[in-house]
Amino acid sequence: MSRVVTVGLGARAYEVVIGPGLIAEAGQRMAPFLKRPRVAVVSDETVWGLHGARLTASLDAAGIAVLPIVIPPGEQTKSFEGLASLTDRLLALELDRGDVLAAFGGGVVGDLTGFAAAIYKRGIDFVQIPTTLLAQVDSSVGGKTAIDTARGKNLVGAFHQPRLVLADLDVLATLPDREMRAGYAEVIKYGLLGDFAFFEWLEVNGAKVLAREPQALSHAVGRSVEMKAEIVAEDETEQGRRALLNLGHTFGHALEAETGYGAALLHGEAVAAGQAIAFRFSAAKGLCETQDAVRAEQAIAAAGLPTRLSDVPGHPFKAAALARHMAQDKKAEGGRLTFILARGLGQACVAKDLDELGVRDFLLGEGAMP
Position 242 contacts ligand GLY (CB under 6 A):
yes
> CB 277 → ligand GLY: shortest distance, Å?
18
- Compare residues 42 and 354 and give the one whose CB is closer to ligand NAD: 42
Cα 305 to Cα 317: distance, rounded to the nearest angstrom: 18
Residue 242 interface partner, choices ligand GLY, ligand NAD, none, CB cut-off 5-8 Å depending on type: ligand GLY
315 is annotated as an active-site residue: no
Cα 236 to Cα 159: distance, rounded to the nearest angstrom: 8
Closest CA to 44 of 81, 84, 72: 72
| Helix residue spans in the chain (DSSP H) | 22-30, 45-61, 80-92, 107-119, 133-134, 177-194, 196-210, 214-234, 249-259, 267-284, 290-302, 319-327, 356-365
Residue 297 interface partner, choices ligand NAD, ligand GLY, none, CB cut-off 5-8 Å depending on type: none
Residue 113 interface partner, choices ligand GLY, ligand NAD, none, CB cut-off 5-8 Å depending on type: none
**Catalytic annotation, pick one of 29, 51, 78, 144:** 144
HEC readout, 94-126 = CCCCCCEEEEEECHHHHHHHHHHHHHHHHCCEE
> CB 261 → ligand GLY: shortest distance, Å?
16
3-state secondary structure at position 307: coil
- Compare residues 130 and 142 and give the one whose CB is closer to ligand GLY: 142
352 is annotated as an active-site residue: no
**Footprint of ligand NAD (CB under 6 A):** 44, 46-47, 50, 73, 75, 78, 105-109, 111, 131-132, 134-135, 138-139, 142, 144, 153-154, 171, 174-175, 179, 182, 267
- Compare residues 308 and 330 and give the one whose CB is closer to ligand GLY: 330
238 is annotated as an active-site residue: yes
Which residues between 27 and 86 bind ligand GLY (CB under 6 A)?
none
CB under 6 A: which stretch of 120-128, 136-144, 164-172, 339-347 binds ligand GLY? 136-144
End-to-end CA distance of the chain: 54
Cα 107 to Cα 104: distance, rounded to the nearest angstrom: 9
Residue 30 interface partner, choices ligand NAD, ligand GLY, none, CB cut-off 5-8 Å depending on type: none
Angle at 325 between CA 320 and CA 331, to 5 degrees: 125
Applying CB under 6 A, among 52, 73, 106, 142 the residue interacting with ligand GLY is 142
Angstrom CA distances, 332 to 61, 249, 318, 339, stand at 50, 13, 20, 9
Cα 165 to Cα 159: distance, rounded to the nearest angstrom: 16
**Catalytic annotation, pick one of 153, 242, 330, 331:** 242
Q: Using the 8-state DSSP alphabet, how is residue 149 labeled?
A: E
Residue 169 interface partner, choices ligand GLY, ligand NAD, none, CB cut-off 5-8 Å depending on type: none
**Catalytic annotation, pick one of 179, 238, 297, 366:** 238
Q: ω before 68 within 30° of 0 (cis)?
A: no
Position 187 contacts ligand GLY (CB under 6 A):
no
Across 302-346, the runs of DSSP E, i.e. the strands, are 337-344
253 is annotated as an active-site residue: yes
Cα 98 to Cα 101: distance, rounded to the nearest angstrom: 10
Residues designated catalytic:
122, 144, 186, 228, 238, 242, 246, 249, 253, 267
User: Where do contacts with ligand GLY occur on this chain (CB under 6 A)?
Assistant: 138, 142, 144, 242, 245
